């Protein structure tokens, strides 16, 4: 009896509704609880009803009727309602999870969005690397070929970043042509090698729009998280490294530890049109 009492008051786990047979288990649990409670309530009320001379049937018949009605109304009815409610709860849970996923996903690239990035960024505790990635000459792509071409470039680069970094690291689109990656595990040198691999893979990716093959590159600034470092300082260091990468000719990865280098030389830099479209080929 004590075990039954504990079972009756034990909360029903709604988390199991996603499992196969979870809704049926939920409905049966509710049904059996209803049978026991209605049976106890019905049997407990019989002495009072007989004392008030409301009931005239023999006691054994009333006990059987009470149990039957408990199964019919308390058990079957509550079980059916619980089965329906279980489906409703599961659908609402799935809708909420999908809404949460969409609210943290960039609709164009399919990567994490700025909100998801900021949440992860502020929770970094320990060693990790932050890479801020910017697509070189992206404005020129939009100006020359239109925003549809720009969207295609963003999607192509997002696919490359997802392929290179995988699920082990957070890859996010921060807005416009800027991406952010939080890398964990290994040494900072190993993480830097992976960022360099991403840069090379983007440069080697064939991106074609309306028979125009684009030579798209990225510039990357990298900074390190360490215990006691403020997140804002790490972001500022990575952003400064990105600025240096842009100023030194683009298509390169600059780590914060190499910022003490000569100022960029713009005099010999190749023009944007020549760099972006100079190796383009028209297919037709």
What is the sign of the dihedral through the CA atoms of 146, 149, 155 and 157?
negative
Q: Do 118 and 96 fall within a single domain?
A: no
Boundary (domain end) residue, out of 48, 73, 103: 103
Residues 128 and 238 in one domain: yes
Boundary (domain end) residue, out of 103, 123, 149: 103
| Residue 283 belongs to a domain | no
239 φ, ψ (degrees, to nearest 5): -65, -40
Domain count across the chain? 2
Of 46, 78, 103, the last residue of a domain is: 103
Half-sphere CA count of 238, side-chain side, radius 13 A: 26
The residue to which tokens 């600034």 are assigned: 221
Q: What is the pLDDT along the chain (284 residues), one digit of tens a residue?
A: 445 444 444 555 555 666 666 777 777 777 767 777 777 777 677 777 667 767 666 767 777 777 777 766 667 777 777 777 777 777 777 777 666 666 789 989 999 999 999 999 888 888 899 999 999 999 999 998 999 999 999 999 999 999 999 999 999 999 999 999 999 999 999 999 999 999 999 999 989 888 888 889 999 999 999 877 788 899 999 999 999 999 999 999 999 988 754 444 433 444 555 455 544 432 22
Do 120 and 97 share a structural domain? no
User: Which residues are part of the catalytic machinery?
Assistant: 177
The answer to whether 201 and 164 have CB atoms below 8 angstroms apart is yes
What is the domain extent for residue 30? 2-103
Residue 282 lies in a domain: no
pTM of the model: 0.65
Q: What is the CATH number of the domain that holds 228?
A: 3.30.70.270
172 and 84 within one domain: no
CB distance 133 to 220 below 8 Å: yes
Query: Do residues 171 and 161 lie in contact, with contact meaning Cβ atoms separated by under 8 Å?
Result: yes
Rounded Cα gap, residues 250 and 135, in angstroms? 9
């Amino acid at each position: 009896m004590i075990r039954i009492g504990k079972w009756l008051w034990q909360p029903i786990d709604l988390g199991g509704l996603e499992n196969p047979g979870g809704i049926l288990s939920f409905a049966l649990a509710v049904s059996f609880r209803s049978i026991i409670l209605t049976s106890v309530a019905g049997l407990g009320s019989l002495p009072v009803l007989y004392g008030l001379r409301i009931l005239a049937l023999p006691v054994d018949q009333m006990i059987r009727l009470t149990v039957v009605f408990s199964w019919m109304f308390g058990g079957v009815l509550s079980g059916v309602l619980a089965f329906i409610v279980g489906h409703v709860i599961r659908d609402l849970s799935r809708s909420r999870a999908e809404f949460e996923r969409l609210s943290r996903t960039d609709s164009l690239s399919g990567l994490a969005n700025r909100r998801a990035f900021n949440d992860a960024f502020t929770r970094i505790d320990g060693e990790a690397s932050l890479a801020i990635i910017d697509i070189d000459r992206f404005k020129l792509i939009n100006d020359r070929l239109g925003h549809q071409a720009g969207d295609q470039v963003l999607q192509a680069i997002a696919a490359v970043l997802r392929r290179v970094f995988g699920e082990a690291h957070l890859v996010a689109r921060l807005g416009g042509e800027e991406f952010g990656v939080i890398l964990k595990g290994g040494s900072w040198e190993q993480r830097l090698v992976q960022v360099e691999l991403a840069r090379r893979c983007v440069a080697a990716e064939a991106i074609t729009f309306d028979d125009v093959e684009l030579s798209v590159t990225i510039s990357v600034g990298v900074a390190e998280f360490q215990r006691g470092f403020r997140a804002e300082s790490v972001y500022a260091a990575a952003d400064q490294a990105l600025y240096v990468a842009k100023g030194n000719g683009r298509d390169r990865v600059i780590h914060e530890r190499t910022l003490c280098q000569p100022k960029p030389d713009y005099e010999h830099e190749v023009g944007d049109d020549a760099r972006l479209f100079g190796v383009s080929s028209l297919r037709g």
